[in-house]
Amino acid sequence: MENIKFIPRDEIETHLEAARRIAEGFESRGMVGDSAPGYYIQTFGCQQNEADSERLAGLAKLMGYRAVSSPDEASLILVNTCAIREHAEKKALSIIGEYKHIREKNPELIVGVGGCMVTQRHRADKFKMSYPYVGFTFDTGAIHLVPSLVLKVMQKKGRSFVISDEYKIAEGLPTVRREGGAAWLSIMYGCNNFCSYCIVPYVRGRERSRLPEDILAEARELIAGGAKEITLLGQNVNSYGRDLDCGETIASLIKKICALEGDFRIRFMTSHPKDASEELLEVVATEPKVVKHFHLPVQSGSSEVLRRMNRRYTAEHYKAIIDSLKEKMPDISLTTDIIVGFPGETEEDFEATLEMLRYVKYDMIFSFIYSPRIGTPAAAMEDQIPAEVSGARFKRLLSLQDEICEERNRRFVGRRVKVLVEGVSKSDGGMLTGRGDMARPVHFKGDESLIGSFAELEITSCGSYSLEGKLI
């Protein structure tokens, strides 16, 4: 197991010690309980970032800060950024821009920016030069450093812009989990796939798997703490364990977690089709605790586009995995990611993507217009697609999928389903939102005390985007 790289425990401890020193400073000034200074964390991007933000929150708490619900009330603002598309970066930059005004009112405010955007050298440099009120930036491998970076700013020892040479696993950081019974569990970090459009391998480093015993210990802790749903996270969970050389695979890991006692269920994401093993499909089909939902990003229905995307599977191979899933689980919910307007995408290529939608009949798709990312091969490809062409294709894609969604949702009407009650509905405060095996959330009337537990519902109606049900 020599090739696994962990940050040594004593190094982690140094930074946790810095956190405790900060907390002692607040304590000595009576800044505890309701008088403790506030922290606010703004998170962009994927579930991996949300899981990282839970660790940032854990560190902020250890530093003696208390969670506040608006940046205006905060003494520490941490922003966890995303770089996946231009839009994600723009949004983060504009919000960080607004923090300037809060800082003008409160010169003691500490602002730190982390995540995928500032793991790119040109972005970190930009913050150094043009955002004097940002005290530090930290890359995706430097979360454990945050207390020391905060301390440095407090002691007026200067600003920091951390970009590591190497990304290691930081075990043993405190966390503040989200509410509602569903929990993230990162099982691995980084990505080795270098899809030609994607920035992730450049900002998350190489694949590194956590040890099975660490993952199982965390799963046990989550279940004991009342978690009803655990989502295993990784950029490509299908290659879990490859760097460990201990024979563990995503399938064997899921089986071990399922064997833990308790009333909980398991999801996982994301699965790269090139590594989707028959063994994994079998585990999903046979383990009652695994949710019968498979998120399998296809990106394009054209094998030629897939080749240029460096996805390393063909449309036919992808369809064969779908066939196998449907054969094992005729009612399975399938979801995917699609990129429209990849360089060189012809009308025919795009038609093949529409054809893929009709073939698979996804419950839901996450679709994106291609966004060139600096430093990726696709950004330098010829035949970049004009925005109006991508935009028009994107609309056609959505309108086809709307029809499919409705058709797929209709199969649930009249059925009884078991959902995990996640919280109050975002669109209608009088309703609760729950999630079952289907990809779509279900809205229903019920008491807020149900949040975080399972409920039995009968589905009463549906649209393209939502399902409604009633408690049985």
Residues that bind ligand SAH (CB under 6 A): 84-85, 197-198, 200, 235-236, 270, 272, 297, 299, 337, 339, 368, 370-371, 373
Which listed range, 90-98, 196-204, 216-224, 300-308, lies at the site for ligand SF4 (CB under 6 A)? 196-204
* CB-CB contact of 197 with 378 (8 Å): yes
Q: Is 201 in the site for ligand SF4 (CB under 6 A)?
A: yes
CA 307 to chain centre: 26
Which listed range, 74-82, 169-177, 178-186, 187-195, lies at the site for ligand SF4 (CB under 6 A)? 187-195
* CB-CB contact of 455 with 431 (8 Å): no
How far is Cα 439 from Cα 430, in angstroms, rounded to an integer? 22
Q: What's the closest the beta carbon of residue 235 comes to ligand SF4, in angstroms?
A: 4
* CB-CB contact of 138 with 81 (8 Å): no
Q: Is 195 in the site for ligand SF4 (CB under 6 A)?
A: yes
Spatial neighbors of 217 by CB under 8 A, at least 6 apart, are: none
Q: Which does 116 bind (CB under 5 to 8 A by kind): ligand SAH, ligand F3S, ligand SF4, none?
A: ligand F3S
Residue nearer to ligand SAH on the CB measure, 102 or 198: 198
Tokens for 116, please give them.
């995928």
Q: Is 119 in the site for ligand SF4 (CB under 6 A)?
A: no
* CB-CB contact of 292 with 329 (8 Å): yes
Q: How many residues bind ligand F3S (CB under 6 A)?
A: 13
Q: Is 191 in the site for ligand SF4 (CB under 6 A)?
A: yes
Q: What's the closest the beta carbon of residue 356 comes to ligand SAH, in angstroms?
A: 14
Q: What's the closest the beta carbon of residue 307 comes to ligand SAH, in angstroms?
A: 16
**DSSP H helices in 106-238:** 121-130, 146-154, 200-204, 212-224
Residues forming beta bridges with residue 418, ordered by sequence position: 456
- What is residue 345's DSSP assignment? -
Q: Which does 186 bind (CB under 5 to 8 A by kind): ligand F3S, ligand SAH, ligand SF4, none?
A: none
Burial track 455-468 (b if 16+ CB lie within 10 A, e otherwise): bebebeebebebbb
- In angstroms, the first-to-last Cα distance of the chain is 51
Q: Is 48 in the site for ligand F3S (CB under 6 A)?
A: yes
> Interface with ligand F3S by CB under 6 A: which residues?
45-46, 48-49, 82-84, 115-116, 199-200, 203-204
